[in-house]
Amino acid sequence: MRVQSIFAASGFLLLYVFLLWFYCSNVQAESPPSDSIHAKKDGLLTRAIKEIGERLPGFRVYWLDGLRIDGRKKNIRIHIGGRLMLDSGYIGADSDLKKAFPDLEGYDTDLRQLRLSAIGTIYDVAKIKFEIDFARINEIKDIWLGLRVPYLGQLKVGHFKEPFSLEELTSLKYISFMERSLPTLAIAPGRDIGIMCGDTAFGERMTWAVGAFLVAGSFGSVGEATDRLTNAFGYSVTGRTTGLPYYLDGGRRLLHLGASFSHQDRDQNRDDSRLRLSALPETFLTDKRLVDTDPFFTSAVNLVNSELAVVSGPLSFQGELFQAFTDADAVGDPHFWGFYLYLSYFITGEHRNYDTAKGVFLGIRPRYNFHPFQGNWGALEVGLRFSYLDLNDGDIKGGREKNFTAGLNWYLNPNVRLMFNYIRANVEDRAGPPVNDGTANIFQGRFQIHF
Distance of CA 36 to the CA centre of its chain: 35
SS3 85: strand
Per residue of the chain (451 residues), give pLDDT as tens. Answer: 344 444 444 444 444 444 554 444 444 434 444 443 333 445 566 666 666 666 666 778 887 777 888 887 778 888 999 999 999 999 999 999 999 999 999 999 999 999 999 999 988 889 999 998 888 667 788 899 999 988 889 999 998 999 999 999 999 999 999 999 999 999 999 888 899 999 999 999 999 999 999 887 543 344 444 445 456 678 999 999 999 999 999 999 999 999 999 999 987 777 777 889 999 999 999 999 999 999 999 999 999 999 999 999 999 999 999 999 999 999 999 999 999 999 999 999 999 999 999 999 999 999 999 988 888 999 999 999 999 999 999 999 999 999 999 999 999 999 999 999 999 999 999 998 999 999 999 999 999 999 8
Distance of CA 391 to the CA centre of its chain: 22
Q: Selecting from 2.40.160.10, 3.10.180.10, 1.10.287.90, 3.40.50.300, what CATH number does the domain 81-113+151-450 have?
A: 2.40.160.10
Distance of CA 24 to the CA centre of its chain: 24
What letters, b where the CB count within 10 A reaches 16 and e where it falls short, cover 363-388?
bbebeebbeeeeeebbbbbebebbbb
- Are 218 and 170 contacting, i.e. CB atoms less than 8 angstroms apart? no
- The pLDDT score that the predictor gives to residue 34 is 42
What is the Cα–Cα distance from 390 to 183, expressed in whole angstroms?
Answer: 9
Per-domain boundaries in the chain: 81-113+151-450
What is the Cα–Cα distance from 101 to 434, expressed in whole angstroms?
Answer: 10
- The pLDDT score that the predictor gives to residue 347 is 97
Contacts of 333 (CB under 8 A, 6+ apart): 325, 326, 327, 394
DSSP secondary structure, 224-266, as one string: TTTT-SS---EEEEEEEEEEEEEEEGGGTEEEEEEEEEEEEEE
- Are 312 and 324 contacting, i.e. CB atoms less than 8 angstroms apart? no
Predicted TM-score (pTM) of the model is 0.85
Task: Classify strands 354-355 and 396-413 as parallel, antiparallel or unpaired.
Answer: unpaired
- Are 189 and 159 contacting, i.e. CB atoms less than 8 angstroms apart? no
SS3 204: coil
- In angstroms, the Cα distances linking 422 to 16, 42, 91, 256, 415 are 20, 40, 10, 28, 23
Residue 428 dihedral angles phi and psi, to the nearest 5°: -135, 150
Continuous segment of H or E residues that includes residue 52: helix 44-55
How many CB atoms are located within 10 Å of the residue 58 CB? 8
- Are 274 and 243 contacting, i.e. CB atoms less than 8 angstroms apart? no
Q: Is 11 left (phi over 0), alpha (psi -120 to 50) or beta?
A: alpha
